[in-house]
Structure 1
Amino acid sequence: MAKFIDRYTYRVTWSEEDQEYVGLCAEFSSLSWLEKTPEKALSGIRKLVQECVSDLEGGGEPVPEPISAKSYSGKFMVRVPPETHRSLAIQAAEAGVSLNRLIASRLH
């Protein structure tokens, strides 16, 4: 199971409020782990995720798929106010590129 746990998306950041490092996992957004060092925070959140996955499997519940294992089409829709759409269309026309290319370059 350790290899499966390794495929999840982990992050360690400083919590000013708690004055400790907090370990997080994107696929389990409700979980966190506080520690004095970033290494211990990462170790703690990984252990917590492993326990959670074991509990889900034991209860016959679905286990979140790691983001790294998902396929993405490269397409998504974003709704913006009409004024923003117009402004971006003008910027794209002035730059001589498609609206899609303009937006993609801004997101990259």
Structure 2
Amino acid sequence: MAELTDKYTYRITWSEDDSEFVGLCAEFPSLSWLAKSPEAALKGIRELVGEVIVDMTGAGEVIPEPIAGRNFSGKFMVRVPPEVHRQLAIQAAEAGVSLNRLASAKLSH
């Protein structure tokens, strides 16, 4: 299971409420692991993910695909209020770029 758990997206952050580091996994948003050091938080969340994968496999459940292995088209739709759409169209026109290019630049920052 270690090979699959290596491919998941982990993040370690500080929890002010718990006064400890918390390990998280994007593909398993309901899981977390608290520890005194960031290294221990990463080790803990990785082991927990491995245990959950074993349990899910045993129960015949579908295991989440690692984000790193997914293919993305680079295209998604965002709905905004008409006034926001208008303001963005004006900004794009004033900058001499397409609305798509303006939105992409804003999302990249």
Structure 1: 5+ residue stretches without partners: none
The correspondence of residues 15-30 of structure 1 with structure 2, limited to 5 A, is 15-30=15-30
Instruction: Spell out the pairing of 1:1-108 with structure 2 (5 A cutoff).
Output: 1-108=1-108
**TM-score between both structures, scaled by the size of structure 2:** 0.97
Q: 2:50 and 2:4 mapped to 1: Cα distance?
A: 9
1:33-73 per-position Cα deviation (integer Å, ceiling 9, x unaligned): 00000000000000000000000011111000000111111
Count residues in correspondence.
108
Moved over 6 A (4+): none
User: Take 1:16 and 1:106, find their aligned partners in 2: how far apart are those partners?
Assistant: 30
Unaligned 5+ runs, structure 2: none
CA RMSD between the two structures? 0.5
What letter matches 1:107 in structure 2? Answer: L
